[in-house]
Amino acid sequence: MLKKKFSIFISFILLVFALLTYQSIKGGGRFIDLPLYPLKLLERAGSAVAGGVKDIFNTYILIIGKEEENRLLRERLNRFEQEKNRYIETELENRRLRKILQLKSERPDYVTTADVFARDPTNWFQMLWIDKGSDDGIAKDMVAIASAGPAGKVQRVFGDTANVILITDVNSSVAVRLQSSRVAGILEGGGDNRCFLKYVSKDVDVKVGERVVTSGLEGIYPEGLLIGYVTQVNREGGEMFQLIEVAPAQDLNKVEEVAIFRR
């Protein structure tokens, strides 16, 4: 019995291997984007529920057990607090959007602005799903820029969704230069929240805190955008180059919307 089950399982594994090999040779196949739609809904529902819970907490939970004469005053106060929170949220959103709009007016290659609705569910890729796609003019290798700096580039595009591979992904490489010394290098993703600046000679004096900007040499990212700051420099070891750790200028865990630009 166990032998039979084992044979069935091994056949299944072999079949999957064969299909993976076929897919690897043939290159991809048609991507099914259907499972992404409920993610969009979930993101919206989640935001609504979170907002509701926050409101309940602010308006109700905080006043339980207080004296009756304070209730009305506290309710008013809470209403004001809520309004204040809303203003703060709107103000923050406005600031982010204003920065994006500023980019839009400065750069003629602006395509559109999109909201982030999901991220990679595993820990293997650093990527975002955005709620706009080829219907809005987005194409592969376009650049996604958040309010504080470049987030990544568009990798796959569908009708109304696209995915953006972040600069922190291990497969991301961006041509950059150190702003003060003008030394060029390649910024590669570290697979977590860091990037590494590679191919900078050990002779170059790199300081912690130095700004790293895009050089535009790879023909994808526009030149001169602040992409991060040097956080650590390692000159030890027998290699020709130093290992420079860079923290992205934009906290990529907090990106909520991105502006898309042409190459």
> Binding residues for another protein, per CB under 8 A?
2, 5, 8-9, 12-13, 16-17, 19-21, 23-24, 28-32, 35-36, 38-39, 42-43, 46, 117-125, 127, 129, 155-156, 163, 170-171, 188-193, 196, 253-254
Shortest distance in whole angstroms from residue 77 CB to another protein: 31
Shortest distance in whole angstroms from residue 63 CB to another protein: 29
Alpha-carbon dihedral sign for residues 106, 209, 183, 176: negative
Nearer to another protein, 17 or 80 (CB): 17
Shortest distance in whole angstroms from residue 188 CB to another protein: 6
Shortest distance in whole angstroms from residue 19 CB to another protein: 5
CB 177 within 8 A of CB 218: no
CB 150 within 8 A of CB 117: no
| Segments in the chain forming alpha helices (H) | 2-26, 36-59, 68-106
Rg (CA), the chain: 24
Shortest distance in whole angstroms from residue 39 CB to another protein: 6
Nearer to another protein, 190 or 222 (CB): 190
Nearer to another protein, 110 or 196 (CB): 196
Nearer to another protein, 45 or 240 (CB): 45
Give the whole-angstrom CA distance, residue 78 versus residue 96: 27
Residue type, 193: N
User: Which neighbouring-strand residues pair with 178?
Assistant: 212
Nearer to another protein, 50 or 240 (CB): 50
Residue type, 229: Y
